Amino acid sequence: RQSADLLSFIPFISFCREGCFSPISPEACPLVQSFMCHNRTFILDGHVQLKTGLQTQERHLFLFTDLLVVAKSKSHSHFKLKCQARLCEMWTAFCTEEVCEGSTDPERSFVLGWPTTNCVANFRSAEQKETWLSFLQSRIREEKEKDYPKSIPLKIVAKDVGTCAYSKTLSVTNVDTTNDVILMALQQLGINGSEKDYKLWVISGREDAPYPLIGHEYPFGIKMSHIRDAMPHGSKHCACPRQLQG
């Protein structure tokens, strides 16, 4: 079994790939209530299309001060939880063509991601997109400021570079992107090239296959996600919802 903090990168191979808000009353929504606790506040909700590859899913987003919840609508006030992500581990970007196939309207879309998922969030209007992007970026920055520690050791293994395998442990901060880490690794390993020539792959230590990163993700958040997920339930600071009654 591979170590959870192991990331590797290999030479890059290019593949070409071709409204209004419906506010929810927190008091009337069991899903929202299930996530509420003393250090968390509900901020915003709205409909979105999440696109990955050729797949498009209709979803409803709920934004809290420290958490994003993705759900499927069952009725006006009842939703089925699909996934949740800590804002301190999330990222946004605009490389929509790297994430989904087909055309997307850049005026209404941006890339939204968390360990280790990237999807294109497509909103009903440019105004909705700008509102969500502004709130998410602001909350992500604020939650990252609360991170402790703000740097961690990360083991990098260079594969298929020349005839030998190299490894190096780097100090990575919570604001270093994948491209930043690749550049640091190349410098530390004495390998010529730029971040465009290499890909960083996550080897999670789980049964999942290695996962290639695009460049905008935060490796710090990916490793911390593995560490936090391994913690006992009670130490996650209300990250998981309480059991719904009925």
Do the bridges between strand 6-11 and strand 151-161 make them parallel or antiparallel, or are there none, so unpaired? parallel
Contact present, 200 and 191 (Cβ < 8 Å)? no
Q: What is the pLDDT of residues 206-246, one digit of tens each?
A: 657 888 999 999 999 999 998 888 777 544 445 544 333 33
Contact present, 105 and 125 (Cβ < 8 Å)? no
- What is the pLDDT at residue 13? 31
Which of the two residues, 5 and 209, has the higher pLDDT score?
209
Which DSSP string do the residues of 174-199 spell out, in sequence order? TT--HHHHHHHHHHHHT----GGGEE
> CA nearest 131: which of 111, 108, 113?
108
Alpha-carbon distance 75 to 146, whole Å? 36
Q: What is the pLDDT of residues 124-149, one digit of tens each?
A: 999 999 999 999 999 999 999 999 99
> CA nearest 120: which of 216, 213, 49?
49
Across residues 167-193, what is the average pLDDT? 93
Q: What are phi and psi of 137, to 5 degrees?
A: -65, -40
The CATH T-level fold of domain 26-145 is PH-domain like (2.30.29)
Q: How many residues does the chain have?
A: 246
Q: What is the pLDDT of residues 55-93, one digit of tens each?
A: 999 999 999 999 999 999 998 889 999 999 999 999 999
> CA nearest 84: which of 231, 229, 232?
229
Give the residue extent of every domain in the chain: 6-13+149-231, 26-145
Q: Could you give the C-alpha distances from 104 to 55, 99, 107, 242, in angstroms and in order? A: 13, 11, 9, 37
The CATH T-level fold of domain 6-13+149-231 is Ubiquitin-like (UB roll) (3.10.20)
- What is the pLDDT at residue 24? 67
Alpha-carbon distance 136 to 195, whole Å? 27
Cis peptide bond prior to 116, omega within 30° of 0: yes
Contact present, 189 and 158 (Cβ < 8 Å)? yes
Q: Beta-strand (E) ranges in the chain?
A: 6-11, 42-52, 55-64, 67-73, 79-86, 91-93, 109-114, 117-122, 151-161, 164-173, 198-203, 211-212
User: Does the global pTM surpass 0.75?
Assistant: yes
Coil, strand or helix at 11:
strand
- What is the pLDDT at residue 228? 84
Across residues 157-177, what is the average pLDDT? 84
Across residues 42-66, what is the average pLDDT? 96
DSSP label at 162?
Answer: T
